[in-house]
Amino acid sequence: MQTRRDPDQLKRLPWDQFEKLDVADKAQAFNRAGNPYHTIFPQQFDRDSLERLCRLATCIRRIAKSRPGVDFLNRLLSHKRAMLYFTQPSSRTFLSFYAACQYLGLQPAEVRDAATSSELKGESGEDTLRTFSSYFDLIIMRSPRQGFAERVAHLLSSSERPIPIINAGSGKDQHPTQALLDIYTLQRSFERLDGIDGKRVMFVGDLLRGRTVRSLSCLLTNYRNVEQFFITDPRLQVAPEALHLLDRAGVKYTVDDDFEGHIPKVDAIYMTRIQDEWDQAGDTPVDIARYSFRPEHLQILRPQAILMHPLPRRQEIAVECDRDPRAMYWRQARNGMWIRVALIATTFSVADEIFDYYRMNLA
């Protein structure tokens, strides 16, 4: 059992010491009362917190079906302001968070290009975000810099104005809110089939550089007897450290390159695109056709299985598959908005108000 350390002491550590901590200790420093204050890693969530977030998201989406419900949600955080600092290209994640803020009444502002900030004048990204913390109550950030969200969260935790940071994608390392929406999609898809426990989940595509795969794989360790399959070209296979995490958790997994052979065995297929924006000059392209889901694959996919994709899609899933009821990627996108509303509500401690409204008006 891991020894619990004092979160306040952890937050006061200098960055060069904090950076070297185990991720479990960092998660303690970034959480408050069992819930994330800064949302940086998937390791900050246990099964109880995941199930609570999923319940909250479902309550919110049902409350939002009526005008009185929308008015209730809009009043919850109308006194707060959010900065969406997205210096890495994004449309789905950005708009999903923007809409989530609007549902809760937060007033959103945005920076989508570092060239429009004082970073163009030589200011550090850390100083830029420290400045933004003077004007806003929440920063939602997406950056190509690996570990940058963690660094900013540590910086603000030890400042005189600590405001929450939500990591909306950080370099090649983590994408915790994508993993949350993926868990929510799995939970809703299998709610009549004993939930996520005991399911087989296959990851396909760029597993080495795809941060969504690592984040979801990590969250799945909170569920019982979930078997994971990593299927791709050996050059794009999942990194050893991700497998070490599964080994420590006692998770059964398979590493292979036989895509078609595993389709009939699994309950969920998580397709991903090739992350060629990280390619180096001279890299040999991978034959993605071997790892693409085609219409004929629907015939060997289990009747109760689902097909997922974090988007954007290229040729990994044929558009002819979109009409199949097992295709969940468009639902994933909408689920992303609701789970992000739930996360922001949890961050600002208004979840209980939402649950109370639901019980009194809709339960």
- Residues annotated as part of the active site: 92-93, 121, 142, 175
In contact, 324 and 307? CB cutoff 8 Å: yes
Using alpha carbons only, give the angle 277, 311, 213 rounded to the nearest 5 degrees: 75
The count of other CB atoms within 10 Å of the CB of residue 185 is 25
Length of the chain: 363
Residue 44: in which H helix or E strand, if any? none
- Judged on CB neighbours under 10 Å (0-12, 13-18, 19+), 284 is exposed
In contact, 262 and 256? CB cutoff 8 Å: yes
Separation of alpha carbons 21 and 27, rounded Å: 10
Question: What is the maximum alpha-carbon separation in the chain?
Answer: 62
In contact, 12 and 320? CB cutoff 8 Å: no
CA dist 151 to 171, 276, 353, Å?
13, 26, 32
